[in-house]
Amino acid sequence: MPLNFEPIDLQRQTEYLKYIERCPQKTSDYSFANLWGWAPAYGLLWAWTDKLVWIKQTIPHELYWAPVGPWENINWDVSFNYFLNLSEHTTIVRVPERLIECWQKGLKKEPTVTETRGAWDYLYAVPELVELKGNRFHKKKNLLNQFKKNYVYHYLPFESALIDSALNMQNDWCTWRDCESSEMLSAENKAISRILGSWEKLEHLMGGAIFVKDEIVAYTIGERLDEQNLVIHFEKGNPVFKGVYQAINQMFLENSGNTYQIVNREQDLDDAGLRKSKLSYHPVDYIKKFQVDL
């Protein structure tokens, strides 16, 4: 029975959250806000069964993403043969490590698995990024202190009243970074606009903003994954203000994320500069992800 793929629908958000709640490993890719925000860029569709939500990417070409649901309670041989046309080559991307383990145990024919390092999620201890103690974080703490010393600032938890200010700053940020010359930055800009435009309808969103006098100089948008974990989707700062990125990172976690143990700061996409930046905050773990060919 072929799957019936349809556009990601905001009206099914609450239903989808019940599926991801039952997922043994929650990655940044499969949060609802991430699917909703990036759906136009990747041509994302989903299909529903009683136990799983299957996700398909159609841009720039057709791929499956990992299905979402209680992986450990699925008869995978039956599910794959029933729902997917395995007479043809099938590629599944962004497959978390725990799901690989389920497939290796549950499939009669072992799949071909390829590590995709650029897709790994970086995990950090929230208390470490709030306190920034010790030599490991000396440079970060120093830049944070310079920001606090040099500017008259205030931090605000993100709310709908800040959307216009954030979007204006985002437009400026795109001018500084020339988003139109980068396919990825241009797509990210559209995803940010889509998510902020749906702010009041999206469950579990959270964020923060820093103002210097009356000017927004940084904002961050995150999302609750579960009681212990949150994910940072976007973090933008005005580079004129030295230490602004260290400030928004620390102040958001201290003020708005301090009930969580782990913050997921998503992938580095094999970008050398982004990888260096993410490693500089000393991740405590990763969620490894893979490509699977069936």
CA–CA distance, 56 with 262 (Å, rounded to integer)? 28
Residues forming a β-bridge with 7: 45
19-26 CB contacts, 8 Å cutoff, 24+ apart: 19/52, 19/53, 19/68, 19/69, 20/68, 21/226, 22/69, 22/70, 23/68, 23/69, 23/70, 23/71, 24/70, 24/71, 24/72, 24/98, 25/96, 25/97, 25/98, 25/99, 25/287, 26/225, 26/226, 26/229
**Mean pLDDT value of segment 183-192:** 96
Amino acid at 198: S
- Mean pLDDT of the chain, nearest integer: 95
What tokens appear for 3 in the block? 């799957």
CA–CA distance, 181 with 201 (Å, rounded to integer)? 31
Question: Residue written as tokens 């698995």?
Answer: 113
Residues in the chain: 294
List the domains of the chain with CATH numbers.
6-119 (3.40.630.30), 121-266 (3.40.630.30)
Q: How confident is the model at residue 230 (pLDDT cuts 50, 70, 90)?
A: very high
At 83 the pLDDT is 79
**Mean pLDDT value of segment 232-251:** 97
CA–CA distance, 222 with 127 (Å, rounded to integer)? 17
Reported as a single tens digit per residue, the pLDDT across 246-268 is 999 999 999 999 999 999 999 99
Reported as a single tens digit per residue, the pLDDT across 114-163 is 999 999 999 999 999 999 999 999 999 999 999 999 999 999 999 999 99
